[in-house]
Structure 1
Amino acid sequence: MKTRTVPDPGSPTEPVAPSRPPARLRLGRVVALPVDGRALLVSAGLLVLLAVASAATLTLGRLGIALADLPSAVTGGAEGMDKLIVNRLRGPRLVTGIGAGAAFAVAGALFQSVTRNPLGSPDVIGLSGGAGAGAALVALLAPGFPVSVGALVGAVGAMGVVYAATGTGFRDPGRLVVAGIGVAALAAAVTQYVVYAVERDQATVLTSYLNGSLATRSWTDVSTIWTLLLVAVPLTLLLSRGLTIGEMGDELSTALGTDPQRTRTAAVVLSTALAAGAVTVAGPIAFIALTAPQIARRLAPAPGPRIMVSAVTGAVLLVLADLAAQHMPLTDDLPVGIYTMGIGGIYLGYLLIREWKKGTL
């Protein structure tokens, strides 16, 4: 009796073949975007959950806006304390969290597709470590200078080192991961030295940023992350077809008329830009880039990176984690990154066990 192995929808190494070609949304004669009914339904459900979490963020707690006043407050009719909450205290924090969560998730989806590995994420290749080291060095060498600028420079610098260290740029996923692990280890050493060396008060502020935090965000942070998303996400959608074919192997990809190496390089560059932007406005928040694409693949299984589903999933995860950070008892507004570390660590353990049982580790 023959048995048939059912591919795992959560693994980029085993894409799911759709039963029929997806419908396409045509924009003129040139652009035709595939439309997946299940992905649309999942995205709609996640958007409803995001709306509920967003409303809870603005209404819960001692300074929360009354639920009856929320519609007018978010449409520009807020006055007094409600206006302060929307414009200064919670509004920028919420919108930054939505954008950063989406950016981290899309970066992770691209990287997992490129490496064909469900354990892949920008964290693995040293981007977050480089951002932390850059922020730490700015705190040590230029007190008073925005650590977010140092984080951006550190993230880009780390990717430059990884690019040079592989000898093949971003074309070889295996070398990319190995070089990234080395860069991350060196960056962690620099960060720990700086935290030890700077003064106690400054070290406290720096540690909060290095854990990832959405506290004291501003509308400048909102404009930074959302401008990046508006530029980068359409470019990632243009890469979707090449990445989907690339998950089936370079030979098939080449035979079907795509350039797998060029597609991988473009995807890694976009992933790096998105993750670096998110780190700049929110700090190196851990595990959103790893877990959100995996959850998206399970909610809407299909070949290729699930860009839009991953983006909404990442936004929901980060907003929920920040909601917990603000209102969980006995934690005194801990950085949101501590909560994502806990959730992501559990999920990473699950992934490791699953991959070990499959014999891929």
Structure 2
Amino acid sequence: MSTWIETDRGSVVVRTRGRVPVSGRIPVRGTLVCAGIVVLTLAVTLLALMLGSVVYSPAEVFTAVFGEAPRSVELFVVQWRLPRALAAAVFGALLGMAGGLFQGITRNPLGSPDIIGFTAGASAGGVAVVAFIGSGYFLVAGGALTGGLVVAALVMLLSRGGGVSGFRLVIVGIGLSAMLVSLESWFILTADLELAQVAALWSAGSLNGTSFTFTGPALVTGCLALVLVGALMSRRLTLLDLGDDMSASLGVPPERTRLMAMVSGVVLVAIVTAAAGPISFVALAAPHIGRRLAGASGTALGPATCAGSFILASADLLSQHAIPDHTLPVGVVTVAIGGLYLMTLLVRENRKGTL
């Protein structure tokens, strides 16, 4: 068996000759960007474990996580702070990948589950379950997934004729989002007072009170989903970027690929929404940031996933420590920052004539 490496337009092509030939292309800049973002995310996660009402040194944090530390240090770092820090990183990665999937299939800078309405559908389904049935993770996950899939079907039906990549899809999604927000408010107003308070807090998008008991299933499911969706969709979306005819000629049916990507994106959003509520604008911003940093012209799921992880981890750290003695829902921070980003994006794309 022999292996050799070639370079081609900023990529490293690895080929192995043997009984089972293997060939793969590794984008150098994209790989370095992902590695850099991962390092930054780890640094933010370390800060999240260090800071709080009691501040610990990096050495104390590492001892608590990987070794034996005093009971008080282990309580603060491992049991209270670590679940939230991990949830922020993993959920951000899920939202980043979901945004990359939707922008890849719509070929629209506003092609995000937040804008198209899938996040609102998952949120409305989750709120309905919390308000009228219960707040167990799998119950809420089922409601969020059902809501997201129903909205996806409605968006596809109502935007028929404009194509998945058409601007009509975005307009239909915005309209459905407005209707779903009203429906969600009605669910909260008609529910039992105690359940309504839980549903209202959940609908803001919050990582407060995160624990391995409740969030553990979401973290495990989310990590598996990242691996499976990434392995399944990366090559398909790369070929789809070449055009429908080229994609079909290479054995990747474009319509089936778009349907698979849409369902995958809804599942990723539902996993996050069920555990933390609707967290907006991460899925919109992460693909843009990842694509710019990586210098990619098409779909770049890896950089989008890493950027989403860093964005949500940073936003959650800010939500905990921006205002002394007050902890904000992370959704409030992402909406505040994401609103500014959305306005900037609209102005820039309008000047380019892509909207």
TM over 0.5: yes
Choose which of 64, 75, 89 in structure 1 pairs with 2:55: 64
Count of aligned pairs between the two proteins: 343
Q: Choose 90-99 or 195-204, whichever is displaced more.
A: 195-204
Q: Distance in 2 between matches of 1:26 and 1:282?
A: 43
1:285 aligns with 2:279: yes
What is residue 154 of structure 1 aligned with on the other side? 144
Q: Deviations over 1:95-126 (max 9, x none)?
A: 11111000000000011010001111112232
1:20 aligns with 2:6: no
User: Normalization by structure 1: what TM-score?
Assistant: 0.85
What is residue 81 of structure 2 aligned with on the other side? 90
SS in 2 for 1:332: coil
Q: Distance in 2 between matches of 1:170 and 1:265?
A: 16
SS in 2 for 1:40: helix
Q: Distance in 1 between matches of 2:65 and 2:314?
A: 19
What is residue 354 of structure 1 aligned with on the other side? 348
Cα distance, 1:26 vs. partner? 6.0
* 1:244–1:305 contact (8 Å) kept in structure 2: yes
Q: Deviations over 1:163-203 (max 9, x none)?
A: 25634799734365454334323321111112333455544
Q: Distance in 2 between matches of 1:204 and 1:57?
A: 27
Choose which of 328, 337, 341 in structure 2 pairs with 1:334: 328
SS in 2 for 1:78: coil
* 2:121–2:150 contact (8 Å) kept in structure 1: no
* 2:12–2:25 contact (8 Å) kept in structure 1: yes
Q: Distance in 1 between matches of 2:280 and 2:156?
A: 24
Cα 1:56–1:97, aligned 2, differ >3 Å: closer, same or farther?
Answer: same
1:246 aligns with 2:240: yes
Q: Deviations over 1:3-61 (max 9, x none)?
A: xxxxxxxxxxxxxxx97272245689466442111122212221221121111101112
Q: Distance in 1 between matches of 2:286 and 2:196?
A: 31
SS in 2 for 1:354: helix
SS in 2 for 1:111: helix
Q: Distance in 2 between matches of 1:31 and 1:180?
A: 42
Cα distance, 1:238 vs. partner? 3.5
* 1:98–1:318 contact (8 Å) kept in structure 2: yes
What is residue 191 of structure 1 aligned with on the other side? 184
SS in 1 for 2:65: helix
Choose which of 122, 125, 140 in structure 2 pairs with 1:134: 125
Cα 1:19–1:331, aligned 2, differ >3 Å: closer, same or farther?
Answer: farther
In angstroms, what is the RMSD of aligned CA positions?
A: 2.8
1:100 aligns with 2:91: yes
Q: Distance in 2 between matches of 1:247 and 1:97?
A: 30
What is residue 123 of structure 1 aligned with on the other side? 114
- In structure 1, runs of 5+ residues without a counterpart are 1-17
Q: Distance in 2 between matches of 1:229 and 1:190?
A: 31
* 2:279–2:334 contact (8 Å) kept in structure 1: yes
What is residue 8 of structure 1 aligned with on the other side? none
1:43 aligns with 2:37: no
Q: Distance in 2 between matches of 1:341 and 1:161?
A: 21
Q: Distance in 2 between matches of 1:135 and 1:160?
A: 13
- In structure 2, runs of 5+ residues without a counterpart are 1-6
**Percent of aligned positions with the same letter in both sequences?**
38
Q: Distance in 2 between matches of 1:52 and 1:170?
A: 44
What is residue 164 of structure 2 aligned with on the other side? 172
